[in-house]
Structure 1
Amino acid sequence: MKYWYILPVVILASLGLTALLRQYALHRSIIDVPNARSSHTVPTPRGGGVAIVIVFGVALALIAGLQLASLAQCLALLGAGLLVAVIGFMDDHGHIAARWRLLGHFFAASWALFWIQGLPVINAFGFTIALGWFGHALAVLYLVWMLNLYNFMDGIDGIASLEAICACLGLALIYFLRGEESLIWAPLLLASAVAGFLYWNFPPARIFMGDAGSGFLGIVIGSFTLQAAWSGSEFFFAWLIMLGIFIVDATFTLARRLIRGDKVYEAHRSHAYQYASRHFRGHLPVTVAVGLINVFWLLPLAFAVSFQLIDGALGLIIAYIPLLFVAVKYKAGEREGVLSRVD
């Protein structure tokens, strides 16, 4: 870690840039005003996630120049991430039709997958799974889902930021212990950029991430998982385990709404974490609980899988079963009208 000093510089740069963006949002009245679908009650500036995009992008270009990460890795992350961020920024400042947003998301996912070289062979339960072109198509769908689920899960103060930091730092530690030096820097830089932003976004938030930031995090972290798979299936499963809270809540909620026939592209507040925040009458308990679950439940399982103490797919199932029970307990995907009778 010869260039470790880059990390505090990234944190400070993100901290300062977020402060500037907050002043800009206040001056231009780029404010998220609470409505019936909101999980907050106070008008709050939005668009602070742009700081994460800019700082991480510059830092990633720097480490590419220092040859701390491969050019292909950086092109995958920067190209896909910047396109998604631009789409999100435009949507934050106006409105883009859902079909055009989705088209841009598929293009960004395809770009990332091109540089990642597709979906590698995955080992699970002792079987080798090689899906070929079908696997590449699934990987594109996976990346589009990852960026959108991150957007869906960015609904209360600090939750999306803390999830990114926990996952990135957890896998960076695993990479360090396993000697995967080429994979360490990008997650560390992203965690640092998000940490600077989290100072302003921690409950009670003084600025929101916005679609530019949440979509960017989703596509970049999703790309991390596929890049890791080329070094070992165990790392792919470790990422999925660390992202378990977001994956389970968002996927279970979407499935339940689809089965019911709801318009899934419309704004709602029926995720488990949103019901939980209303049940506990605040964002802080839920955000802190997410961090604790990541550290004390998901991280040990990610370690066990990464060091091949248990099969990756089995570890994933073990990790997700309690999360699924939590999603059911907090009524993920249930019609919002039910809330008034149970909270």
Structure 2
Amino acid sequence: MSSVWLVPVVFASAFILTALLRRYALSKSLIDIPNDRSSHTIPTPRGGGVAIVVTFLAALCLLFAGELIPTGLFVSVMGAGAVVAIIGFMDDHGHIAARWRLLGHFVAAAWALYWLGGLPPIHALGLVFDLGWAGASLAAVFLVWMLNLYNFMDGIDGIAGVEGISVCLGACVLYALGARDGPILPALLLASSLAGFLMWNFPFARIFMGDAGSGFLGMILGIFSLQAAWLSSDLLWGILILLGVFIVDATFTLLRRLFHGEKIYEAHRSHAYQVASRRCGKHWPVTMGVGLINLLWLLPIAISVTQCNLDGVIGIVLAYTPLVILASKCQAGRVEAA
């Protein structure tokens, strides 16, 4: 079964479905109204990320029918992705208590890990770490953090889509260079669905992704990371490096807000990318900057880990250190002056 035709079909389907979702959001008054915690100034429809969910999962079903994707990865993505997307869709339409959202997120993570087989032994610094149940628990926390940090980082035009496309295509490069039997097709199709949505979200947003799309995207990229670990620890480190901009900004901001006694569940606009967008006065330079960091800094380091025997932990430190400095320079996590 040839699958090349799926790439343009998924792109066109996501583009068209996003347009339909925009009309639906306008008709149902599903509008994000700017407030003092927003990075936007114009009321904008939300929920366009459903197009990403529907087109990607439909394409995944075709891959599975053609025996082009492992059963474990297929069931993991379909189950966990659907649960996260449904929770996000319901939250986009009406608030769901944080405790129930979190419970649903951990259920989705547990489902994903069951079908992936948990967390394999990890090679780092010349040692092998087989963490067993502790590793599985750590992996569940990682998946839940990935989907929530993606929600946090989806705050300016195009940034979530550009990050997702960069990571997916970067992962394809890592698999191709190493001739690995990895999920190149799923990653390529996720990038294609994101590109179709991005036509409506960048350089200025005519519709937002919403929690259904951003949470789904974070969960799927987390699953791709853990699935890569079963192929090679180097691939896990490589994909974590590719995710560096979002992981560092979200984690640095959260930890600083915790340190200063802020309520971390409250909306804010103190992430480094939000501060940078205010300083620029525009969103698109920051979004393009993220893409360039991924291409020119993080991808070469990820390739060095997977192809040049650079230790994964050293690669993470090398990749993340300038990002931490950048977040500090932007004063990420600081309370904005009134």
Secondary structure class of the residue paired with 2:36: coil
What displacement does 1:181 show?
Answer: 3.4
Distance 2:177 2:314 in 1: 22
What displacement does 1:312 show?
Answer: 1.1
TM-score, normalised to structure 2, is 0.98
Amino acid at match of 1:268: H
Question: Contact between 2:182 and 2:228, CA under 8 Å: does it hold in 1?
Answer: no
Q: Residue in 1 aligned with 2:269? A: 269
Question: Contact between 2:153 and 2:246, CA under 8 Å: does it hold in 1?
Answer: yes
Q: Residue in 2 aligned with 1:137? A: 137
Q: Residue in 2 aligned with 1:116? A: 116
Q: Residue in 2 aligned with 1:92? A: 92
Q: Residue in 1 aligned with 2:206? A: 206
Question: Contact between 1:70 and 1:182, CA under 8 Å: does it hold in 2?
Answer: no
Amino acid at match of 2:119: L
Q: Residue in 2 aligned with 1:179? A: 179
Distance 1:112 1:302 in 2: 25
Q: Residue in 1 aligned with 2:190? A: 190
Secondary structure class of the residue paired with 2:128: strand
Secondary structure class of the residue paired with 1:230: helix
Distance 1:180 1:191 in 2: 19
Distance 1:285 1:156 in 2: 11
Q: Residue in 1 aligned with 2:10? A: 10
Distance 1:336 1:61 in 2: 46
Q: Deviations over 1:250-307 (max 9, x none)?
A: 0000001111111111111110000000001010110010001000000111111111
What displacement does 1:182 show?
Answer: 4.0
What displacement does 1:309 show?
Answer: 3.0
Distance 1:139 1:13 in 2: 33
Q: Residue in 2 aligned with 1:215? A: 215
Amino acid at match of 2:306: S
Amino acid at match of 1:335: V
Q: Where does 1:293-308 land on structure 2 (aligned, <5 Å)?
A: 293-308=293-308
Q: Deviations over 1:105-147 (max 9, x none)?
A: 0100000000010011111111111111111111101100010
Question: Contact between 1:69 and 1:182, CA under 8 Å: does it hold in 2?
Answer: no
Distance 1:177 1:334 in 2: 41
What displacement does 1:177 show?
Answer: 2.2
Distance 1:170 1:103 in 2: 32
Distance 2:149 2:328 in 1: 18
Q: Residue in 1 aligned with 2:147? A: 147
Q: Residue in 1 aligned with 2:166? A: 166
What displacement does 1:203 show?
Answer: 2.4
Distance 1:317 1:27 in 2: 48
Shift of the 9–181 alpha-carbon distance from structure 1 to 2, 3 Å rule, reads farther
The reply to whether residue 330 of structure 1 matches residue 320 of structure 2 is no
Question: Contact between 1:14 and 1:51, CA under 8 Å: does it hold in 2?
Answer: yes
Question: Contact between 1:48 and 1:197, CA under 8 Å: does it hold in 2?
Answer: yes
What displacement does 1:26 show?
Answer: 1.0
Select between 174-183 and 314-323 the one with higher mean Cα deviation.
174-183
Q: Residue in 2 aligned with 1:312? A: 312
Q: Residue in 1 aligned with 2:127? A: 127
Distance 2:244 2:153 in 1: 12
Distance 1:308 1:185 in 2: 25
Distance 1:118 1:336 in 2: 41
Select between 1-10 and 111-120 the one with higher mean Cα deviation.
1-10
Distance 1:189 1:74 in 2: 13
Secondary structure class of the residue paired with 2:200: helix
The reply to whether residue 157 of structure 1 matches residue 157 of structure 2 is yes
Q: Residue in 1 aligned with 2:61? A: 61
Q: Residue in 2 aligned with 1:240? A: 240
Gaps of 5+ in 1: none
TM-score, normalised to structure 1, is 0.97
Q: Where does 1:245-256 land on structure 2 (aligned, <5 Å)?
A: 245-256=245-256
Select between 303-312 and 325-334 the one with higher mean Cα deviation.
303-312
Question: Contact between 1:68 and 1:182, CA under 8 Å: does it hold in 2?
Answer: no
Amino acid at match of 2:200: W
Q: Residue in 2 aligned with 1:227? A: 227
The reply to whether residue 82 of structure 1 matches residue 82 of structure 2 is yes
Select between 270-279 and 1-10 the one with higher mean Cα deviation.
1-10
What displacement does 1:2 show?
Answer: 3.9
Q: Residue in 1 aligned with 2:105? A: 105
Distance 2:177 2:285 in 1: 32
Distance 1:30 1:307 in 2: 47
Question: Contact between 1:157 and 1:202, CA under 8 Å: does it hold in 2?
Answer: yes
Distance 2:186 2:150 in 1: 18
* Identity score, percent: 59
Shift of the 325–182 alpha-carbon distance from structure 1 to 2, 3 Å rule, reads closer
Secondary structure class of the residue paired with 1:128: strand
Distance 1:222 1:336 in 2: 31
Question: Contact between 1:149 and 1:246, CA under 8 Å: does it hold in 2?
Answer: yes
